[in-house]
Structure 1
Amino acid sequence: MNSYTLLQICLFMHLTGLTLMAGTDIVEFVAFRSILKTYQTNKDAAVHQIGILSRFSVLLLIGGILLVLSGIGFLIITHNAFGNQLWFKIKMIFVLGLVLNGMLMGQKSGNGLKQSLTTGNNVKAQQVEDAIRTMIRFHFIQLCIFFIVVLMAVFKFN
């Protein structure tokens, strides 16, 4: 297999991983906005919807693995041609921001929401709504960072 074919395979994997991750964030952003409205009228349905959303983390994991493997493939095939360019270094900082935001804000918000929901009727509805709003903010931030990362990759400035 020649290096052009390998590069195309890596590009396909990279775009697939990006689509899985960004697509999942879009779905969760829209879903949590809907869940917030549903929670105010039908708490049980909202809790059920949140349970369904928790299964999407597998898609994020698969997308992340595809992005990392294909990114390493790009660097190997191109002999790190992009690694020394300013746009790539800045892009990697934003990618690190995605990961850190996911680990710090995303997990904390998700755990807070789960804790609010498992506490039962003892928790105030306002606490659950605040936790859902935090998840909405988290996904909005993730989408903004994804947008910047894609923008940096398309307009490779020097």
Structure 2
Amino acid sequence: MKGNTAKGAFSSSTATRVMTRIARGAAQIFTRNGHDWTSRMPRLADACNELQVDDAWLDGEAVVLDSSGRPDFNALQNAFDRRSTAEIVMFVFDILWLNGTDLREQPLRSRRALFCVNCWKERRPTPSAFRKTFRRTLCLLSPPHAR
């Protein structure tokens, strides 16, 4: 799959890379080392649960945005240290699996289009937004409280 994988949108010094598995409507959030951090980011898991999918694997980055909308790694670390993670949002930049179909062999552009079409059918997570960042279209998933 050379040239067919998404790279993180932010530098590793401003975000935490996460993989989100949604199975039968229930999201689990994993670190890049495979640790289940769902209990550390319950509101973000709730936002993922609102997606209109039966099962999926999402690749993204967990961040805390400053007042200018830029990632703030210090704020992210503080959120984890204080166990106050309601302000954490996730930029989703790839979908690897969707409703029983392995998408990894499809071009990245096609996977992102599938994500946009299939995950936002009738209702969107609150709030949701699309951003042009680093020449990539990213989906911002955030808990209802993080605005």
Q: Which has the higher strand share?
A: 2
Tell me the TM-score normalized by structure 2: 0.27
Tell me the TM-score normalized by structure 1: 0.26
Q: Which has the higher helix share?
A: 1
